Amino acid sequence: MQGLYSAGDDERPVTQDNPEEYREEARRDYARLIHSASFRRLQGKTQVFPGHESDFFRNRLTHSLEVAQIAKSIAIKLNNTSDFFQKSPINVDIVEFAGLAHDLGHPPFGHNGEEALDECMRDAGGFEGNAQTLRILSTLEKKTLDGDEAGPPVSRGTDLRRGLNLTYRSLASVLKYDRVIPIGSKERPEDKATTPMKGFYKSDFDLVQEIKSHVLGVSEIADFKTIECSIMDIADDIAYSTYDLEDIFKSGIHGPLDLFSFSDSIYEAVVETINKRIDKQYKDESKVSVSDVQEVLYEVFSKIFAIGSDEQTFLRNTKIAPDKRKMYSSIAAQKLSSLTAGNGYHRTRFTANLISLFLNGIEVVPHKEYPQLHQARFDIKTFVSVEVMKNITYEAVIRSPMLQVVEYRGKDVIRKIFEVIASPNGERLMPPDFREIFRHSDGLGKTRTICDFIAGMTDRYAMEFYSRLFGANPMTMHKPL
């Protein structure tokens, strides 16, 4: 069996000397990411609630910072508790990098924005957030060209852009789905005919082969996902299932008790999603039911149903009618529920305890041949708990009418911007750097350039751009694109 790291991990698509021998290559990658424009733009992209609603709510940047911190904690824990990783420690800088970078490819307006761009790109290679993350890091960021830096970024149809020119191991840490997104919609699997297909773009196929070859020594291997990537993936799930819930409590839209009283359709949708993921990741485990979902909710929020000494004394009084006892218990639970949601100390203590619980439920599934492909995952009980909390949030809030109206508007905005720029001479609406790339690209490259421009927009910039095209904003030539 190979070691966890090798010299190939530190190589880059364009060879560069390291003038700072005291600084490891992974730390150089971390710095390049922190100082990149795409990382800064995450502050203008929605996590759950639109940023203009409140300064309190998380955006994609603060979410990424939290994912990176959780991922690093997982790596440190595994390095200290796993026999294998004690001898061959996980590089925590790469893990932290993966957490910070994992959402770079998200377009404006969340999942609806992703769907809109995928629809526009359906016969030109598709669009998907994770695939776009790899493309941003390896191609779009303006740091390195493979050739004369004074020359054009695209020459005779050849794309010379190399993005941040990261090490192959850092690039591997964001490669979550090892499959090519086909160019045409007819080539897609049936279940992904009308929704974004997770994977990487066909134009990045050669790069992915290089990543595999440098990390493993071979390129012909399926289901490539490094240990750092798997840690980032579960850290993302932990952040979704806890901090997004904290934002919901703070918003006042739902409190803990509300999670027990949704319509049956929400719990059934949660069960369906969890069982599909169990089929993929825990094939021999039994499925969950609606009662299992409710049991998880009870375990997570059991403290709001706790009976205090005063309440016990009251309930022991046999002269009290049963309906009054029920009323008293309901009032006590509602008070504790409101305290958990409305009091900052209680709310942050709740999320901290939940994260600790989830961190204690992580296990490692070893790869028989390549330790680089060892997988960190939740044990099945923790997995179900995380999925319940994550999908309750998704079904009850993100898919609720109040947010869907906002996201639908965003979807329409992106579609119309794409249609205008893709029309004859529409490329003139893009900034000069995108126009230059557009001019030197082939047919598919031109369409992908339009997609790259729109995907990189923040929510506010997309609305502003749309308003300048169609809305009531006054016409101006002075404000730059």
Q: Give residue 396's pLDDT.
A: 76
Residue 57's alpha-carbon distances to 60, 116, 247, 350, 451, in angstroms, are 10, 25, 6, 17, 28
Q: Give residue 227's pLDDT.
A: 98
Q: Give residue 318's pLDDT.
A: 63
Reported as a single tens digit per residue, the pLDDT across 294-306 is 999 999 988 887 7
Q: Give residue 253's pLDDT.
A: 81
Mean pLDDT of 97-109: 96
pLDDT confidence bin for 246, thresholds 50/70/90: confident
Token pair for residue 168? Answer: 């192959």
HSE toward the beta carbon, residue 177, CA cutoff 13 A: 17
Q: Give residue 248's pLDDT.
A: 82
Token pair for residue 457? Answer: 């927009």
CB-CB neighbours of 430 under 10 Å: 19
Reported as a single tens digit per residue, the pLDDT across 273-295 is 999 999 988 988 889 999 999 99
Residues 6+ apart with CB under 8 A from 5: 88, 91, 169, 372
How far is Cα 266 from Cα 356, in angstroms, rounded to an integer? 27
For residue 271, pLDDT over 80 is answered with yes
Higher-scoring residue by pLDDT: 73, 258:
73
For residue 1, pLDDT over 60 is answered with no
For residue 348, pLDDT over 80 is answered with yes
Mean pLDDT of 328-352: 82
Reported as a single tens digit per residue, the pLDDT across 110-128 is 888 999 999 999 999 999 9
Instruction: List 46's β-bridge partners, or say none.
Output: 59
Burial of 181 (0-12, 13-18, 19+ CB in 10 A): buried
At position 116, the amino acid (one-letter code) is A
Mean pLDDT check: name the lowest of 44-58, 146-160, 165-179, 347-361: 44-58
Token pair for residue 461? Answer: 């910039």
CB-CB neighbours of 23 under 10 Å: 12
Token pair for residue 365? Answer: 């599934």
For residue 395, pLDDT over 60 is answered with yes
Give the domains, in start order, of the chain with CATH numbers.
Answer: 7-227+401-468 (1.10.3210.10), 252-398 (no CATH)
Place of tokens 């027990």: 260
At position 345, the amino acid (one-letter code) is Y
Burial of 442 (0-12, 13-18, 19+ CB in 10 A): exposed
Residue 233's alpha-carbon distances to 128, 208, 230, in angstroms, are 16, 19, 5
CB-CB neighbours of 358 under 10 Å: 23
Mean pLDDT check: name the lowest of 74-78, 221-225, 244-248: 244-248
Q: Give residue 330's pLDDT.
A: 78
pTM (2 d.p.): 0.91
- In the DSSP assignment, the letter for residue 46 is B
How far is Cα 292 from Cα 250, in angstroms, rounded to an integer? 27
pLDDT confidence bin for 310, thresholds 50/70/90: low
Query: Cα–Cα–Cα angle for 420, 426, 429, nearest 5°?
Result: 95
Place of tokens 């493993």: 216
| Greatest mean pLDDT range, 51-55, 267-271, 471-475 | 267-271
For residue 333, pLDDT over 80 is answered with no
- Residues 79, 103: contact at Cβ < 8 Å? no
Q: What percentage of the chain has pLDDT greater than the value 70?
A: 91
CB-CB neighbours of 77 under 10 Å: 17
